[in-house]
Amino acid sequence: MAKKKHVKMQCSACKKVNYYMKKSKGKAQVEKKLDLSKFCNLCRKHTAHKESKK
C-alpha cells in the first residue's frame, strides 16, 4: 500500500494554512521543503507558502 502524506502549505506572512498537498512517498522531492507562491485569502495577495509539519 502506498503511503501518502498530507502536507500543509502555510503562508509565511500570516501563518495561515491555505492549502493541503498530497505527497507520495518514494519521490525524490520528499526531502525537499516546498516553497510555493500561492494566493493567501487572509493576506489577499500572493505570498510564499511553506510546507508546515505538525
Residues lying near Zn ion in the complex (CB under 5 A) are found at: 11, 13-14, 40, 42-43
Sheet holding 35-40, edge to edge: 17-24, 4-11, 45-52, 35-40
CB 26, min distance to Zn ion, A: 31
Residue with cell 505527497: 23
CB 29, min distance to Zn ion, A: 24
Coil, strand, or helix at residue 36? strand
CB 25, min distance to Zn ion, A: 29
Nearer to Zn ion, 34 or 43 (CB): 43
